[in-house]
């Protein structure tokens, strides 16, 4: 006896001998298996990876700093020797200041003289 409708028997989902639950279970098992393999890979990587190299000993670092300090002392001594031959800024201002005033006056006087010559030439 046939049932009305699409030809499926009562109580069968989808009918036709098609089992969709089995496919879902297979896909779920595949995804969970892949996740487990990935997790195992991460754990294995963390166990196998190399440990960082130890930091250099403090004595080596201190020796390098001492060498740099000694080198900088030589540079400071050279600089002091070089600067000892120069006139300090404070003393240089005192010596140059009066001469600078005289030069400034001379330049202004020359400028006034040239301006007067130009005015005379324009009036002629």
Q: Give the tens place of pLDDT for each residue, 25-78.
A: 888 999 999 899 999 998 888 888 876 766 666 677 888 888 888 888 888 777
> Based on the domain organization, do 41 and 62 belong to the same domain?
no
Q: What is the model's pLDDT at position 56? A: 63
**Assigned domain for 11 exists:** no
Could you list the residue range(s) of the whole structural domain that residue 105 is in?
87-124
Residue 98 lies in a domain: yes
Cα separation, 109 vs 102, whole angstroms? 10
The domain tally of the chain equals: 3
Q: What is the pLDDT of residue 38?
A: 92
Kindly provide the b/e burial profile for residues 46-57, where b requires at least 16 CB atoms within 10 angstroms of the residue's own CB.
eeeeeeeeeeee
Whether 3 is in a domain gets the answer: no
């Amino acid at each position: 006896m046939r049932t009305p409708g699409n030809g499926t028997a009562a109580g069968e989902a989808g009918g036709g001998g098609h089992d969709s639950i089995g496919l879902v279970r297979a896909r779920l098992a595949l995804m969970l298996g892949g996740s487990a393999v990935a997790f195992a890979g991460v754990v294995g990587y963390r166990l196998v990876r190399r440990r960082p190299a130890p930091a250099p000993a403090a004595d080596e670092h201190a020796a390098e700093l001492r060498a740099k300090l000694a080198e900088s002392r030589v540079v400071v001594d050279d600089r002091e020797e070089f600067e000892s031959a120069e006139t300090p800024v404070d003393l240089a201002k005192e010596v140059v200041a009066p001469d600078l005033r005289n030069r400034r006056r001379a330049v202004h006087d020359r400028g006034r003289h040239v301006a007067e010559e130009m005015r005379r030439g324009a009036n002629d």
